[in-house]
Chain A
Amino acid sequence: EPEVTQTPSHQVTQMGQEVILRCVPISNHLYFYWYRQILGQKVEFLVSFYNNEISEKSEIFDDQFSVERPDGSNFTLKIRSTKLEDSAMYFCASLQSGTGKEQYFGPGTRLTVT
């Protein structure tokens, strides 16, 4: 069964460093998302991406964040200058098409900023 994959599973970085989190969505899916989950808290929407551009973003998704689909398979989230409060689990999700359909989530990348 097709699945969303994410790398790395765990990333440790120092405050102020740039990180890139990678995702490979399901191949025939058209919509891509990033969510984050601070430890013990709810899953929060960051950004959605469709047709090579951002379609929605939350207040969390400030200028420190960017997303890219550099080729036909990868979808990346870059954090330019990490802060301690960026420590969280980051989930990538993809959706084939249509409104109201289930999103398929990857296993997550745990980001630890020290």
Chain B
Amino acid sequence: AQKVTQAQTEISVVEKEDVTLDCVYETRDTTYYLFWYKQPPSGELVFLIRRNSFDEQNEISGRYSWNFQKSTSSFNFTITASQVVDSAVYFCALSGNTGNQFYFGTGTSLTVIP
């Protein structure tokens, strides 16, 4: 069974602070794919990043970075120097090697206070 857990339901930080959003996943597939999506208050789902299970390299994109650790089944997302525009709900998602459906976590609502 595929499962994604985002234990943090809500996080508030003051602008310019760093914040890490946690994502833990479960899968029996040997090949799988992990994603982060952002859902701003307007409601759309915006793709942020994809990671393959065989690529454990961490990635940095501007103020965003991702830490993928197979040993702990985690795919955490860090925003450095947070900004008010980062306020949104962030979803972690998983897809396996058969079929393409996404399994989403329950999301973490991030509020960045000016």
- A residues near B (Cβ < 8 Å) are 31, 33, 35, 41-45, 48, 55-56, 58, 89, 91, 93, 95, 99-108, 110
A/B pair count, beta carbons within 8 Å: 69
Q: Which 6 A-B pairs have the closest CB atoms?
A: A100-B33, A105-B45, A43-B104, A45-B101, A42-B106, A107-B44
Given contacts A100-B52, A100-B95, contact A31 B43 (CB under 8 A): no
B107 touching A99, Cβ below 8 Å: no
- B residues near A (Cβ < 8 Å) are 31-33, 35, 37, 42-47, 50, 52, 91, 93, 95, 97-107
Minimum distance in angstroms from A41 CB to a CB of chain B: 7
A41 to B9, CA, bound (A): 10
Contact of B99 among A43, A48, A107, A110 (CB under 8 A): A48
Minimum distance in angstroms from A75 CB to a CB of chain B: 15
Q: Give chain B residues whose Cβ lies under 8 Å from the Cβ of A102.
A: 35, 47, 50
Q: Which residue of B lies closest to A104 (CB)?
A: B47
